């Protein structure tokens, strides 16, 4: 790959085993409008997915695949999702003509013999076919055939379009398997939070792409939380099942992190910096004359002679030097806070589930659901402003239930019903919360400091999940009493705190209207329980307003 310039060698003294990859400038993020769920019945894909009949999809792609690998090497890549030897792990096999995809899969999954050994003589693996094709967006498609557990992807070499283990298999296809088999495949990080007594509490958190999941997964507590430690189990995907003990248990199916580079630096995420400085791929970042990787937020000023993500001499008037969706691909094992549970075949028990979006206005810093069904409603009614992780406009509010809008491989209303059914099997369900680190004031400045300070919110969440802590009942859910948040060492004014922690009731009615519109598109497939939750909130809001 170095010889063919698919990879550029980075400074091997400072970044041993690290390489830079520059993708085609038309191929820098997931393309949701070219991603399809191919079921016989359109209704099984649902109104939030692009749909194509399986025969049509095959007919469209067969001519594109025919001869597409001629003159290239086809790699056959068996990979295991989940810890070796775990009954909850699953095997996939990707055929690809991209060596960059192979190298990425080697970091992101447990690749090779470990997978074929887990498979044994079974034929239960998820097949994936991938070709770069000619990289023309006109001939780019990511097709999912849930019945055969099959993915066909052509015309892109980037991220979730091409590493079929990740969004295609571990979320969309695994989600379909999970529904049939009674578990959940979720777009969630997993962390263990150790308190000074040594007790570790595990939580999962769902956020849309590029909303800080990797930072939260590697959080370093501030001085006021001496003795606390965050253990990283996963930063993107959780497979969740009901344990014999009636609790929810999680594994991280992946073995690496595919994190957003810009904004990652020694202040915001020192653990990520200490993870990615060896044996890592950097994609679409900038490079200094000393061949060091560089991106906005890495903690240094852009040095003279900087080369931008497209290989051009950079100057301030060119805009960003690194692409906003540039990424690091790095082995999870190298993370200083990696949890030994990453390889535990039984996974970790989950005490709390967090749903988080990017909302400049409206959504308070944190609130808790009244019970499981209300918690599912909080997830189902999530909204978030879009980011550079997918092509299209950035900063536009869209409904993104459970952060799964682009990743749900079947009808999202059926997915909501499956969440409700899971709750009925949990005798000890985790507590469910919504968080929003992204509230801004009228000047557009963030009200909450975020990053390591988020432990203050996690601390309240953990205490609430144990039935401790103080909450105030409001129409939207249970909000923390200000005095019950540990804010020691933080200089926040009372006004800021009030803004962060109080629901804006008139604005919330408009929010409910939007949520209702979103739910209505599912027609009679929408679970009545969630429709009732919405009208309950509305009734309570109006009572408060009166
Ligand atoms: O490009 S990926 O889909 O792998 C990353 C993301 O959108 O979170
Ligand atoms: Mn993701």
Q: Which ligand has its closest atom nearest to the C-alpha of 387?
A: 1
pLDDT reported for residue 381: 97
Whether 379 contacts 355, CB under 8 Å: yes
Locus of tokens 């810093």:
365
**211 is annotated as an active-site residue:** yes
Looking at residue 268, what is its pLDDT?
95
Q: Is 537 helix (H, G, I), strand (E, B) or coil?
A: helix
Which residues, listed in sequence order, are joined to residue 256 by a DSSP beta bridge?
A: 331
Provide φ and ψ at 257, rounded to 5°: -120, 135
Q: What is the Cα–Cα distance from 34 to 144, expressed in whole angstroms?
A: 11
Nearest to 1 by CA among 90, 104, 147: 104
What are the mean pLDDT values of the chain's consecutive 10-residue runs (546 residues total)? Answer: 97 98 97 97 98 98 98 98 97 98 98 97 96 97 98 97 98 98 98 97 96 96 97 98 98 98 97 98 98 98 97 93 98 98 98 96 96 98 94 94 98 98 98 97 94 97 96 96 94 94 87 97 98 97 82
Please, are residues 36 and 143 in contact by the beta-carbon 8 Å criterion?
A: yes
Among all bound ligands, the one having the nearest atom to the CA of 23 is 1
What pLDDT sits at residue 545?
A: 72
Q: How far is 434 from 374, CA to CA, in rounded Å? A: 11
| pLDDT given for residue 504 in this prediction | 79
As a whole number of angstroms, the distance between CA 133 and CA 135 comes to: 6
Helix (H) or strand (E) holding 531: helix 528-545
How far apart are the CA of 30 and the centre of ligand 1, in A?
6
Q: Rounded to two decimals, what is the model's pTM?
A: 0.98
**The pLDDT of residue 303:** 97
Pocket test of ligand 1: the residue of 100, 156, 159, 387 to mutate, having most ligand atoms within 8 Å of its CB, is 159
**Position in ligand 1 atom list of the atom nearest CA 30:** 1
How many helices (H) and strands (E) the chain has is answered by 14, 28
| Nearest ligand by distance to the CA of 403 | 2
Give the closest residue (by CA) to ligand 1 atom 2: 160
Closest CA to 462 of 528, 383, 529, 368: 368
The catalytic residue among 38, 211, 335, 408 is 211
Ligand 1 proximal residues by C-beta, below 6 Å: 30, 159-160, 166-167, 209, 258, 389
CA distance 339 to 235: 12
Q: What are 429's two structure tokens?
A: 């369900």
Please state, as a whole number, how many other Cβ atoms lie within 10 Å of the Cβ of residue 96: 27
Gap between the Cα atoms of 23 and 27, Å rounded: 6
Dihedral (Cα; 213, 215, 216, 222), 10-degree rounding:
-170
Q: Which atom of ligand 1 is nearest to the CA of 187?
A: 8
- Token pair 């949701």: residue: 32
Count the Cβ atoms, other than its own, within 10 Å of residue 424.
11
Q: Which of 21, 30, 281, 283 to mutate to test the pocket of ligand 1 (most atoms within 8 A of CB)?
A: 30
Q: Where are the alpha helices (DSSP H) in 426-454?
A: none
Q: Looking at ligand 1, which residue's alpha carbon is closest to its atom 8?
A: 209
CA separation for the pair 215, 236 (Å, rounded): 11
Dihedral angle of Cα 441, 445, 448, 451, to the nearest 10 degrees? 160
Cα separation, 116 vs 118, whole angstroms: 5
512-545: burial string, b at 16+ Cβ within 10 Å, e else: beebeebbeebeeebbebbeebbeebbeebeeee
């Amino acid at each position: 790959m170095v010889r063919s310039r698919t990879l550029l060698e980075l400074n091997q003294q400072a970044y041993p085993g690290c390489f830079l990859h520059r993708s085609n400038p038309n191929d820098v993020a997931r393309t949701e409008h070219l991603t399809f769920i191919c079921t016989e019945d359109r209704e099984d894909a649902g109104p939030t997915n692009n749909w194509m009949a399986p025969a049509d999809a095959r007919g469209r792609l067969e001519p594109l695949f025919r001869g597409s690998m001629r003159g290239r090497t086809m790699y056959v890549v068996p990979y295991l999702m989940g810890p070796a030897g775990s009954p909850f792990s699953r095997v996939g096999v990707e055929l690809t003509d991209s060596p960059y995809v192979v190298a990425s899969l080697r970091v992101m999954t447990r690749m090779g013999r470990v997978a074929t050994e887990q498979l044994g003589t079974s034929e239960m693996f998820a097949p994936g076919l991938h070709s770069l094709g000619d990289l023309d967006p006109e001939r780019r498609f990511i097709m999912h055939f849930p019945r055969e557990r099959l993915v066909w992807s052509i015309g892109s070499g980037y991220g979730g379009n091409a590493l079929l283990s990740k969004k295609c298999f571990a979320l969309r296809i695994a989600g379909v398997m999970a529904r049939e088999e009674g578990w959940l495949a979720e777009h969630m990080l997993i962390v263990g939070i150790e308190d000074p007594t040594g007790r570790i509490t595990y939580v999962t958190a769902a956020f849309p792409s590029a909303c800080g999941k990797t930072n939260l997964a590697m959080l370093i507590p501030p001085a006021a939380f001496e003795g606390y430690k965050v253990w990283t189990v996963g930063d993107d995907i959780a497979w969740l099942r009901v344990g014999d003990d009636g609790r929810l248990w999680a594994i991280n199916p992946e073995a690496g992190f595919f994190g957003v580079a810009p904004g990652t630096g020694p202040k915001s995420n020192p653990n990520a910096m200490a993870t990615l400085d060896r044996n890592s791929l950097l994609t679409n970042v900038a490079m200094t004359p000393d061949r060091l990787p560089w991106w906005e937020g890495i903690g240094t000023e852009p040095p003279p002679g900087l080369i931008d993500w497209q290989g051009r001499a950079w100057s301030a008037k060119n805009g960003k030097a690194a692409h906003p969706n540039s990424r690091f691909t790095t082995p999870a094992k190298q993370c200083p806070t990696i949890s030994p549970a990453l390889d535990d075949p039984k996974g970790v028990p989950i005490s709390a589930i967090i749903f988080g979006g990017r909302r400049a206005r409206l959504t308070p810093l944190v609130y808790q659901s009244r019970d499981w069904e209300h918690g599912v409603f909080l997830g189902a009614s999530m909204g978030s402003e879009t980011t550079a992780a997918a092509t299209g406009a950035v900063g536009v509010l869209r409904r993104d239930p459970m952060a799964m809008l682009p990743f749900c491989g079947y009808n999202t209303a059926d997915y909501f019903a499956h969440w409700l059914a899971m709750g009925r099997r949990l005798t000890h369900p985790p507590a469910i919360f919504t968080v929003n680190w992204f509230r801004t004031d009228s000047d557009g400045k963030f009200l909450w400091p975020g990053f390591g300070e988020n432990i203050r919110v996690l601390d309240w969440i953990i205490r609430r999940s144990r039935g401790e802590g103080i909450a105030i009942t409001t129409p939207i859910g249970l909000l923390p009493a200000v005095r019950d948040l540990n804010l020691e060492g933080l200089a926040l004014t009372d006004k800021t705190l009030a803004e962060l922690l109080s629901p804006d009731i008139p604005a919330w009615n408009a929010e409910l209207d939007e949520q209702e519109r979103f739910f209505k598109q599912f027609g009679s497939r929408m679970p009545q329980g969630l429709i009732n939750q919405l009208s309950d909130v509305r009734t309570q809001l109006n009572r408060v307003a009166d």
